[in-house]
Amino acid sequence: MTKTKIVATGIAAAALLTIQGCYTAPPPSAPPPRPMTERFEQSWQAAKGAAYDANVRVTQEDRASGTLRGEQGASKVVITVVPQADQTIQVGFSVSGGDSYQEANLKKNLTRAYQQRMGR
């Protein structure tokens, strides 16, 4: 091989390595966020399902205020599903009327059932 061919081959190899090293993959694109109405509906249905799973009898539903009321034995349950300004949804469980152990256990069961229904 002549000196010119060796130099040309070296330059070509260096150019290929340089080009290969400059490529950067585009960042992955996140899916567009789902509309608030769709996310509220999913949370509302999961909250109602959690009440069912925890044997809470729902006695009142008020979608406009995001409130479910129900009872399990002596315990009164209030579940709130509230859209927030930052586009998240806050879900809360309040239990009263039973002894402290029953209240804590029912609240834990509601929370766990809700999380499962939301796929978490």
60 forms beta bridges with: 69
Q: Is the dihedral of CA 33, 91, 61, 66 positive or negative?
A: negative
| Residue spans of alpha helices (H) in the chain | 3-22, 36-53, 100-117
pLDDT digits (tens, 9 = 90+) for 62-110: 999 999 999 999 999 999 999 999 999 999 999 999 899 999 999 999 9
Question: What mean pLDDT do residues 35-45 have?
Answer: 95
Whether pLDDT at 20 is above 60: no
For residues 59 and 71, is the Cβ–Cβ distance under 8 A? yes
Q: What is the pTM of this model?
A: 0.73
pLDDT of residue 34: 86
